[in-house]
A and B are shown apart, each in its own frame.
Chain A
């Protein structure tokens, strides 16, 4: 099986992001630190296969957000995000 077959979009990570940010996040706008392109979270490419969730920029494939939930800790690596824009109206 090819990994592309198992790829989801960023909507699949919506639940865990709502848990962290306490609001709907799939419509939030991410500016990629790699190529400075904007994409809504729901349009990011998600690779989540057991070890954690990796959300990649749809333009340049930079991992913009990496999430691992284990041993009672949720770890988010956000170094791939230059700017996160969240609508206050949700």
Chain B
């Protein structure tokens, strides 16, 4: 009986730890906070001046105003996020528009495709991504977090969300995507951060496998 109680008491924490460790990429720790990291001042862009543009290599573009963007079909992903500074946060809840939806709509407006994309934000931040990391239900432009409008310090009015890559790829204050022929490094990638940034392969810095 005593042994049974001991096993029962020990089982739950071990189980929880095992679940957490399966969700935690190498070198990461779990946090319940939502740390704010930023390379510059927080832009405060109003909905009336905000727009989102996807541009191709030939100068064709598709543009959405805030109202048009909000009218697009919405998704509500719940995902784990992983910052290269080693914190991970489980089960974050977002609301926004899938990149599949945006890219299909852009293609319908005559915007051509290319193998890479440079995301750009208010404040001058950029980050580069392979197109295949943005398609197939893996990436969104989100404007809601945890049931409320996305706060400016977390990238509002809208940010990119690419949770299967380190979180610096999920550009805050996003305003557009530019198709690229080659993988041209963004703000942190120019300084030696990895061009892809897969947390499960610990691709933190240039030269990591």
Contact = CB atoms under 8 A, between A and B. Distances in A.
Interface of A: 1-4, 6-7, 45, 47, 49-52, 54, 56, 61, 63, 66-68, 70-71, 73, 75, 77
Contacts of A52: 39, 188, 191
Contacts of A6: 36, 38
Interface string B186-205: 00101111000000000011
Interface string B168-199: 10000000000000000000101111000000
A66 B188 CA distance: 9
Nearest to B188: A51
Contacts of B73: none
Contact of A1 (B36, B39, B205): B36
A1 B151 CA distance: 10
21 contacts: A1-B153, A3-B36, A4-B41, A4-B42, A6-B36, A45-B41, A47-B41, A49-B37, A49-B38, A49-B85, A50-B83, A51-B84, A51-B85, A51-B168, A54-B39, A61-B41, A68-B188, A68-B193, A70-B192, A73-B192, A77-B191
Nearest to B38: A3
Contacts of B41: 3-4, 7, 45, 47, 56, 61
Contact of B153 (A2, A54, A71): A2
Interface range for B? 20 to 34
B192 A3 contact: no
B207 interface: yes
Interface of B: 36-42, 83-85, 123-124, 153, 168, 188, 190-193, 204-205, 207
Contacts of A2: 36, 42, 153
A48 B123 CA distance: 16
B40 A47 contact: yes
B193 A51 contact: yes
A34 B115 CA distance: 31
A54 to B, nearest CB: 5
Nearest to B39: A54
Given A3-B38, A45-B41, 11 more contacts: A2-B42, A3-B42, A4-B42, A6-B38, A7-B41, A50-B83, A51-B39, A52-B188, A68-B192, A68-B193, A71-B207
A3 B37 CA distance: 7
Contacts of A4: 41-42
A75 B38 contact: no
B159 to A, nearest CB: 14
Q: Which 5 A-B pairs have the closest CB atoms?
A: A50-B85, A3-B38, A68-B191, A49-B37, A54-B39
